[in-house]
Amino acid sequence: MRFSDEGYIVNLRKHGESSLILTVLTRGHGKVTGYVKNCLSKKNLAAFQLGNFLKIDAYARVEDNMLSLRTELITPTAVNFMADGRKLETLSSFCALANACLPEQDNLENFYDYVDNFFNLIDEENWITHYAFFEFHLLEYLGIGLDLTECAATGTTENLTYVSPKTGKAVCAAAGEPYKEKLYKYPHFILEQNYHPSAEELEDLLKLTEFFLYKNFFATHGLKFPAVRANLAEIVKQKP
């Protein structure tokens, strides 16, 4: 097996004194994990940081063996996160979710656009919005997306205001009013492709995605929810 691709580092583990087990998120081959031999010299140590964008050449003599990787730094994307604690925390969350949730060597196709947007637009004022879009569409990619087309109680498509934590379906204002304290807010800005939502809308969305990622993926698969993701919605309350 042999292939080449490009992607972002989402996990790395030291192996021996100078080697790494590296995980890179690519468009064409999804999450790629492999062994990088003798890479931790002083000369190229800075290349191996979470979020950096690399070219990888992957190969394995036998298909079931761990891949061996040759890497080349394309863009030191990690530096764009270093000066802002909120961005670093969000990067850690992104990497933890991508590493835990996405399958090995699966073509990510259009979903990868949300990955690219998060990294490439990190210097924009609304950078956290691109992270929110990533999490929402991660649910969809995993096959556990929400049904937000009509009210689960009445069937109406008007005045959709809430999302049920039990069913993941939309609930209209009238049907949800008696139970609104137990429901999540409907993510209008996501569906409307509005990349400039309010801080309150972002906070509500991140609470919603956290709940459903835990309930429908991590708990279902008996996995521990990443500590770096817990309560990430709080960062939108902090001043830049």
Q: What's the token pair of residue 145?
A: 């997306």
Nearest in space to 132 (alpha carbons), one of 84, 81, 199, 78:
199
Nearest in space to 145 (alpha carbons), one of 122, 168, 171, 173:
168
Q: What CA–CA distances, in Å, run from 94 to 8, 84, 101, 119, 178?
A: 11, 15, 11, 10, 35
The per-residue pLDDT string of the chain (240 residues; one tens digit each, 9 = 90 and over) reads 899 999 999 999 988 888 899 999 999 999 999 999 988 877 777 899 999 999 999 998 876 678 999 999 999 999 999 999 999 999 999 999 999 999 999 989 899 999 999 999 999 999 999 999 999 999 999 999 999 999 999 999 999 999 999 999 999 999 999 999 999 999 999 999 999 999 999 999 999 999 999 999 999 999 999 999 986 877 777 645
Q: pLDDT tens for residues 16-56?
A: 888 899 999 999 999 999 999 988 877 777 899 999 999 99
Gap between the Cα atoms of 127 and 51, Å rounded = 15
Q: Domains along the chain?
A: 2-78 (2.40.50.140), 83-237 (1.20.1440.120)
